[in-house]
């Protein structure tokens, strides 16, 4: 650095000196902010203690509503919030699965449960009526919008069937918004009765919503929609005492991702939910986005690296995503052809 400063002082041209000094100052500023930003991720991920959920009414008889609660990430949210001291309303399509999860929560965590069989693939008015009735009189302070759907395999927009397109938009967007409207009114009412308790609404986002994702166009767009909607809702409900956050994730082992083995960048639902609940209110990897969190450490580093050095809307990232999904589609079609051949032989 001393050499650079000496070079600047040796320059004869005042204008040149000015430009060089400005460029140097900008470089130092950028390096400093980038270093501090990276340090913040490490601090949030590995050093800071977990958030105390007493501010959301833990162990005070309050309830959390979780959609898509019968499997995977939703089921894990139910378990971990019950462990933190909340009664749980389980919302999903299959009643038998909900009953199994409810029994486990009652047995293991000694918390009350309610189940609502709700087919989120349809925008049926009776679903919201049933949900409203189930929540009557409950001091609900938390909503987890976890239910979601992607494409069965990567597919171009022009080849996406109308049925799949509408199913994704209905489930990811229309149903999520309508459920939130039902539950958020209760949360606002309940936290308004107590100055010491806040409400919390978490909505599951995705890297596909963070980065335009060719061959997952409808899913990518539906998740990007949730980003802006959730951020707007956060601004509206903050004065009402309700925290709203979009949770961005890369891949997690689940039925939807079709991935069974964990790795450095792919946690299981328990690991992912634990990181999320630990870091509520901290952006971790989503440092440039209000009311957004990328909580899992490796996902946070990926988000930060893409945003800092390449750009989430860059041509490079778009092309990488396209090539990756082309490869996934090729393997999926090959597997489907093999299974069909085996079926015919049998």
Looking at the chain, list the stretches that DSSP marks H as alpha helix, in order from N- to C-terminal side: 2-10, 14-42, 72-83, 95-109, 125-135, 162-169, 176-192, 207-210, 217-237, 269-278, 297-305, 315-345
What is the per-residue pLDDT for 238?
97
For 87, counting Cβ atoms within 10 Å of its Cβ (0-12 exposed, 13-18 middle, 19+ buried), the class is buried
Beta bridge partners of 284: 294
What is the per-residue pLDDT for 195?
77
What is the per-residue pLDDT for 123?
93
Low-confidence ranges of the chain (pLDDT < 70): 1-15, 17
> What are the tens digits of pLDDT across the range 246-305?
999 999 998 778 888 999 999 999 999 999 999 999 999 999 999 999 999 999 999 999
Q: Which residues are known to be catalytic?
A: 219
Domains within the chain, CATH numbers bracketed: 51-328 (3.40.50.720)
> What are the tens digits of pLDDT across the range 235-262?
999 999 999 999 999 999 987 788 889 9
What is the per-residue pLDDT for 28?
83
274 annotated binding-site participant = no
DSSP string, 12-61: --HHHHHHHHHHHHHHHHHHHHHHHHHHHHHIIIIISPPP-GGGGTTTTT
What is the per-residue pLDDT for 50?
95
């Amino acid at each position: 650095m001393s050499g650079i400063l000496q070079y600047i002082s040796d320059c004869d041209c005042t204008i040149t000196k000015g430009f060089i000094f400005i460029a140097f100052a900008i470089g130092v500023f950028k390096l400093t902010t980038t270093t501090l930003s990276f340090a913040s991720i490490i601090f949030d991920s590995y050093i800071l203690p977990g958030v105390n959920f007493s501010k959301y009414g833990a162990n005070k008889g309050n309830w959390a509503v979780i959609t898509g609660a019968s499997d995977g990430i939703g089921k894990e949210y139910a378990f971990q919030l019950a462990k933190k001291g909340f009664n749980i309303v389980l919302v999903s399509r299959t009643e038998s699965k909900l009953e199994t999860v409810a029994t486990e929560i009652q047995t293991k965590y000694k918390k009350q449960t309610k189940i609502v069989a709700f087919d989120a693939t349809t925008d049926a008015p009776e679903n919201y009526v049933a949900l409203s009735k189930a929540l009557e009189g409950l001091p609900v302070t938390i909503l987890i919008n976890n239910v979601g759907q992607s494409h069965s395999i990567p597919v171009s927009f022009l080849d996406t069937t109308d049925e799949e397109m509408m199913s994704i938009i209905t489930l990811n967007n229309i149903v999520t918004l309508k459920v939130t409207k039902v539950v958020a009114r209760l949360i606002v009412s309940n936290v308004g009765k107590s100055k010491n308790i806040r409400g919390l609404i978490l909505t599951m986002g995705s890297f596909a919503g963070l980065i335009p994702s060719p061959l997952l166009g409808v899913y990518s767009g539906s998740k990007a929609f949730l980003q802006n909607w959730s951020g707007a809702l956060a601004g509206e409900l903050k004065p009402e005492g309700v925290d709203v956050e979009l949770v961005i994730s890369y891949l997690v082992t689940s039925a939807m991702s079709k991935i069974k083995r964990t790795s450095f960048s792919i946690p299981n639902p328990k690991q992912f939910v634990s990181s999320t609940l630990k870091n509520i209110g901290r952006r971790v990897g989503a440092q440039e986005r209000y009311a957004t969190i990328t909580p899992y450490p490796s996902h946070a580093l990926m988000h930060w690296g893409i945003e800092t050095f390449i750009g989430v809307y860059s041509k490079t990232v778009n092309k990488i995503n396209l090539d990756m999904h082309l490869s996934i589609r090729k393997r999926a079609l090959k597997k489907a052809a093999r299974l069909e051949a085996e079926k015919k032989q049998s």
